[in-house]
Amino acid sequence: MRKKKYMGFLLAFALVMLCLTVFGEDGLLHALKLKKNLHRLMDMNETIREENEALTEEIGYLRSHVGYIEQQAHRQGLVKEGEIVFQFKENQ
């Protein structure tokens, strides 16, 4: 009888420990969520790094190519003082 009580207690303890390991605050499910979040953040970081490199390259162009600056300004509809702009309709 005493052996059954001891086995029951041991089984209950093991079950509680298993539940805490899987579902606890720092359990396996939490670790999996953190790992997934880490991968998402690493992907976002890589995307931002690529955008930063492109912007750094564009800054270099803007600093060294006056024609590039004018081209970008014209694309945004800006014109120099005294500059004449011709607009042509496209054939439809």
* pLDDT tens profile 58-89: 888 888 887 888 888 888 888 888 888 777 88
Cα distances (angstroms) measured from residue 9 to each of 13, 15, 44: 6, 10, 48
Q: Where are the domains of the chain?
A: 2-74
- pLDDT given at position 31: 85
Distant-in-sequence, close-in-space partners of 73: CB < 8 Å, separation ≥ 6: 79
* pLDDT tens profile 44-63: 999 999 999 999 998 888 88
Whose tokens are 């005294």? That residue is 82
**Residue 92 pLDDT > 70:** no
* pLDDT tens profile 11-49: 878 887 777 777 777 778 888 899 999 999 999 999 999
Q: Is the pTM of this model over 0.85?
A: no
- pLDDT given at position 53: 97
- pLDDT given at position 56: 95
Cα distances (angstroms) measured from residue 37 to each of 13, 25, 40, 52, 88: 32, 16, 5, 22, 52
